[in-house]
Chains A and B, each alone.
Chain A
Amino acid sequence: MWRYFVKRLGIAILVVITVSVISFGLLRLSGDLAQIIAGEGATQAQIQETRILYGLDRHMVLQYLDWAGKAMTGDLGRSLFTNEPVFQLIATRLPVTATLAFSSLLLAICVALPLGVFAAVYRNSWIDRAALGIAVFGSAVPNFWFALVLIYIFGVQLRLLPISGSASWWHFVLPTVTLSTMVMPQIMRLTRGGMIDALDSDYVKMAWAKGLNPGIVFFKHALRNALLPVVALSAVSLGFLLGGSVIVESVFSLNGIGSLAYESIQRADFPVVQSILFVLSFIYVLLTLLSDLINARIDPRIRLY
């Protein structure tokens, strides 16, 4: 168990470092930072002055090491636009996105899990077809468009729900529904597939042969095994939702980390963009690490690796 954990941790740290190098390099690709900071119409001398002030005249590797060293102490630099510390900017915006991502994942699981199980138990019935229909819809509908349609129906025609901002829990209903369609199909498909495999397996046949009642066979024998990959997928999905909420946030005017990234990209605020990319990747790596651990805890076979 420990060997497995240490190996995973090592890979995770390497991934985080690589990601930080990529997100650092990505934004240095964008041209002369000093010129952007100095603003339009700055003279050569002013640009040169800015370059030295921000340490942009040094070698790229030195600049990276400087950034990485500070990042480890939680200092992610300052926004070029508002001059606020980036760490603080992200910390104030993250709760909105986290709420949205958690509630979307929860909704997706609450719908997809029972649906997947019933679709597998009653294969080729109407419920299986309905589940397939939902999966097809979820994986093909453009979510910015779905968001607008929901706004039109529930916000404008029926006047049931608020359509922008994050003032109350009600404001999160439509964004949550929209965002959950991004992960619902995969969770549903995986649950259904895992459940079908489990139901066809020898140990479930054995359970039937022993004369156990269907409830115990389905939930204790089959579902527990079918759920293993779903745990991993849920962790991955949460990371995906945190990074993928930009569209939904922009349509519903939620001030989350996605809209912060979007605004910062538009106004070329590189320290903020770079840090958001890094923080989101970091959270993703943590989540996958956590799911590996949970899986190893539930399934002893994994620990043998």
Chain B
Amino acid sequence: MSNTPAPLDNMELAMPTPWQQSWSMAKYHLGLQTGALIVLIALICAVFAPWIAPTDPYAQDLANRLAPTIWQEGGSWAHILGTDGYGRDVFSRLIWGTQVTMIVGFGAAVISGIVGSTLGMLGGYLGGRVDAAVIFLINVKLAMPGVLIALSLVSIFGGSLLSITIILSLLFWDHFAVVTRTATQEVRTREFIAAAECSGASRSWILFREILPNITSKIIVIGSLEMGIAILVEAALSFLGLGIQPPTPSWGILVAEARDTMFFKPHLIIAPGLAIFILVVGINLLGDGIRDVTEPQGRN
């Protein structure tokens, strides 16, 4: 008859899933959208650098050194941002620089995220001696001057893309560990963990299938912050000459190379620095936005 109960599916439909909630909030989150747009553009530049960059970033044209930019007198579309001290096209080098920056930043954030989150989850879930050991490791890490350690390690292991990524990831794991440890301690006290323990789930099942999904959004937020910092540190190391080695176009190297001519060609310094700044702001906006839409109560 007419008063049969509604099927269960419909009732579930009435209540939006967390994903739908986050999605509908993201539609009105200007910061998140701006950040996502900036990161997307950087990603496209990094992946499609060979097709986007108008010329070869390594091609020197010594007859055409320090050419003016498009908006200056005598500028041409061939070199939108002019050329550098070796006659290389600055715009192309900037585009290729995105590749180095994104690989190092993302790689360092992922590796340090895996290491740090594993340590933090183990400490937070197991407690006791394991936890004490994790806290001790974090304390040791905090006490060491990170940039100097990175500089010495680069001087030992060299400035390849891989070694820089791994060295940088050594610098950032502690933040992940601190946050995941606290978050794990919180989640551990919930009923579904007790239920899983009672039903005989293994430790690794509980850690990776029960706890990890509940703290993923926190890890992503930290990851975005650390990726921003990793990008800044990579640029700084390369600027000092103990990072990515020239002629590879890292944004830090672009700034360092432009230093000699900065007084009469300031745009050569402004452009790569601004690129770093905008990308890091974008990544931070994206991270903050993800936190806002996944954990609405955790703002401020």
Contacts and interface: CB of A to CB of B under 8 A. Distances in A.
Interface in A243-267: 243-244, 246-247, 250, 258, 261-262, 265-266
Nearest to A123: B300
Contact of B284 (A140, A265, A285, A288): A140
Nearest to A276: B148
Interface stretch (B2-10, B56-64, B120-128, B258-266): B258-266
Given A136-B281, A142-B232, A142-B276, A19 B152 contact: no
Q: Tell me if B's interface is mostly helix, strand, loop or mixed.
A: helix
B228 A285 contact: no
B54 interface: no
Contacts of A168: none
Given A136-B281, A142-B276, A243 B147 contact: yes
B136 A15 contact: yes
A193 B155 CA distance: 40
Contacts of A268: 155
A277 B269 contact: no
B146 interface: yes
B96 interface: no
Interface residues of B, number: 40
Interface in B133-163: 136, 139-140, 142-149, 151-153, 155-156
A144 interface: yes
A14 B133 CA distance: 12
Given A243-B145, A246-B147, A15 B236 contact: no
B281 A280 contact: no
Contact of B263 (A23, A144, A156): A156
B139 to A, nearest CB: 5
A144 B239 contact: yes
Contact-residue size bin, chain A (C-beta under 8 Å from the other chain) = 35 or more
Contacts of A144: 235-236, 239-240, 252, 255
A258 B146 CA distance: 12
B277 A149 contact: no
A30 interface: yes
A281 B143 contact: yes
Contact of A15 (B143, B241, B277, B300): B143
A143 B236 contact: yes
Contact of A247 (B152, B156, B236, B281): B236
Interface string A186-199: 00000011001000
Given A11-B136, A265-B155, A280 B284 contact: no
B273 interface: yes
B178 to A, nearest CB: 13
A283 to B, nearest CB: 9
Contact of A140 (B143, B151, B272, B277): B277
Contacts of A258: 148
A145 interface: yes
Given A144-B236, A265-B155, A243 B148 contact: yes
A284 B142 contact: yes
Nearest to B242: A265
A206 interface: no
A148 B255 contact: yes
B102 interface: no
Among all A-B residue pairs, the 3 with the closest Cβ atoms: A243-B145, A145-B273, A140-B280
Given A27-B152, A148-B273, A280-B148, 15 more contacts: A14-B136, A26-B152, A136-B281, A142-B236, A142-B280, A145-B235, A145-B269, A145-B276, A148-B255, A152-B262, A156-B263, A247-B240, A262-B151, A284-B143, A288-B143
